[in-house]
Amino acid sequence: MSPERAPIGVIGTGYVGLVTAAGFAELGSDVWCVDIDAEKVERLRAGEVPIYEPGLEELLRKNAARMHFSTDLADALEHARLLFVAVGTPPTYSGDADLSAVNAVINAIPASDDHALVMKSTVPAGTGVAVKRMFEEQGKGGLAYVSCPEFLKEGSAVKDFLHPDRVVVGDVGDWAGDAVVDLYAPLLAPLVRTDIASAEMVKLASNAFLATKISFINEIANVCEETGADVVEVAQGMGLDERIGPKFLQAGIGFGGSCFPKDVDALKQLAGNSGYHFQLLTSVIEVNELQKRRVVGKLQKHLGTLVGKRIALFGLAFKPNTDDMREASSLVLSARLNADGALVTAYDPVAEEQARKVVSGISFADSPMQAAQDADAVVLVTEWPEFLELDWAQVADAMDGNLVIDGRNALDPDALQAAGFVYEGVGRGEHPQARHEV
Ligand code: UGA
């Protein structure tokens, strides 16, 4: 066990809150987690982990003696000076971030000269300054405030917490900023210490940039389809330029999840509310929406009308290694296929329970082979390793048709064609087998 470090409070036990809590416990802090959901708190106390996140359960179990769960903010206030806020900031109808959960915390925290709120939730730039003003107005001006945005990815959140590319701390140069820097010190990550508004903007701009990179490569993929180029090779050629880099250049059926769609929209609205029209982000969002629908056109190209056609969806989660269905491309895709009269059967190794809550009109299978039974086409929606390791010759035997739409460019086109499939990826041209080996 690592040596003892300053205790902390964490408000909100979702993906970010739980991972932050477990991570700091691993580094040596006692952690007081607070959540308004009493049932969730009970489950956590009993050692249950309410979300699927590789490595999280082990980390929580390993540090169980340092983890405390409560519905009462007073428990965290009693034991810790730094209270990390990791509550949801979902989009509102206007696209702005809904700050009601953040505001509830701000209103609930009593006046104190010894405590600080450390904001992990993604909030619009300017929130920290507004919060400090609210503290003053409520006679709670002694409370400190730090912006400490989180950059972890679902599915690799534990690793991302323990090995961050950078730590960003936005504060007014007081004890709380120093204390947060100190907490992160054992991770030896590059530190950006800045003012509060800049830290908030680093987070929004980073997510918006990554989303832009994805929409960009998706548009290049669409042009590749018109010109016969292969976007996988194009991305490789681009990514070797150090200024561009190879990451987030995988073309596919669009980005989803609880962050990119929400944060891109929130930054666009934030700009709009301040009188600036962020034109580029409008296109990033539109390209992403169209990208989710392009699969339907590809199916129609090969199968004609989709009425009565059996389509198997391999994967539903917005990406592998998570059960998160928020803004998953499969939501739009399955709804479009339903509307066109197709008979959809889906299989996801982990996300079925979540998917059943939000997807209607489709059947769920217990295995990829069951989903593929008598199907006219298979669409790879989420690149779970299980699908990449499948015996595709067996899949071909189970199917009625022979069409595979690879929505993530994750399968081997040559192997699939050898197994008798008609293969179509995203931006891979008609004849990927004609590529030259170098
Ligand atoms: C994203 C960011 O990557 C994190 O840095 C950030 O902390 C997080 O949002 C957040 O704000 O909380 P996450 O949503 O977990 O993390 O997932 P990503 O791995 O970034 O993937 C997002 C979506 O983009 C997925 O649907 C994925 O399939 C898609 N994607 C990603 C592509 O289509 N192509 C790529 O090359 C990469």
DSSP string, 182-195: HHHGGG---EEEE-
Instruction: Ligand 1, residue 206: give the atom nearest the CA.
Output: 5
**d(CA 160, ligand 1 centre) in Å:** 12
Please give the structure tokens belonging to residue 230.
Answer: 């292969």
Q: Which of 152, 250, 259 is the pocket-test mutation for ligand 1 (most atoms within 8 Å of CB)?
A: 259
**d(CA 15, ligand 1 centre) in Å:** 14
Side-chain half-sphere CA neighbours of 291 within 13 A: 32
Q: Which of 20, 210, 231, 323 is the pocket-test mutation for ligand 1 (most atoms within 8 Å of CB)?
A: 210
CA-CA distance, 402 to 381, in Å (whole number)? 17
| Residue pLDDT tens, the chain, 438 long | 566 799 999 999 999 999 999 999 999 999 999 999 999 999 999 999 988 899 999 999 999 999 999 999 999 999 999 999 999 988 888 878 899 999 999 999 999 999 999 999 999 889 999 999 999 999 999 999 999 999 999 999 999 999 999 999 999 999 999 999 999 999 999 999 999 999 999 999 999 999 999 999 999 999 999 999 999 999 999 999 999 999 999 999 999 998 999 999 999 999 999 899 999 999 999 999 999 999 999 999 999 999 999 999 999 999 999 999 999 999 999 999 999 999 999 999 999 999 999 999 999 999 999 999 999 999 999 999 999 999 999 999 999 999 999 999 999 999 999 999 999 999 997 654 444 443
CA-CA distance, 419 to 162, in Å (whole number)? 42
3-class state of residue 162 by DSSP: helix
Instruction: Ligand 1, residue 328: give the atom nearest the CA.
Output: 26
**d(CA 260, ligand 1 centre) in Å:** 7
Contact 380, 407 (CB under 8 A): yes
In 17-77, where do the E strands start and end? 29-34, 67-70
Q: In what order do the strands lie in the sheet with 116-119?
A: 67-70, 29-34, 5-11, 82-85, 116-119, 144-147, 167-170, 191-194
CA-CA distance, 386 to 293, in Å (whole number)? 25
Q: Which of 33, 148, 224, 259 is catalytic?
A: 259
pTM check: above 0.85: yes
**Ligand 1: residues whose CB is within 6 Å?**
122, 150-154, 207, 210, 214, 248-250, 252, 255-257, 259-260, 263, 318-319
**d(CA 290, ligand 1 centre) in Å:** 18
Q: Which amino acid is at 304?
A: G
Q: Which of 161, 253, 255 is the pocket-test mutation for ligand 1 (most atoms within 8 Å of CB)?
A: 255
**d(CA 427, ligand 1 centre) in Å:** 20
Instruction: Ligand 1, residue 155: give the atom nearest the CA.
Output: 15
Of all protein residues, the one whose alpha carbon is nearest to atom 24 of ligand 1 is 255
Of all protein residues, the one whose alpha carbon is nearest to atom 1 of ligand 1 is 153
CA-CA distance, 389 to 378, in Å (whole number)? 15
Nearest to 231 by CA among 85, 3, 435: 435
- Count of all residues that appear for the chain in the document: 438
Side-chain half-sphere CA neighbours of 311 within 13 A: 33
CA dihedral angle for residue 107, residue 109, residue 110, residue 116, rounded to 10 degrees: -130
**What letter does residue 433 receive in the DSSP assignment?**
G
Active site residue 259: yes
Measure the N-to-C terminal CA separation of the chain; round to a whole number of Å.
Answer: 50
Q: Measured on CA atoms in the order 215, 218, 223, 229, is the torsion positive or negative?
A: positive
Instruction: Ligand 1, residue 122: give the atom nearest the CA.
Output: 11
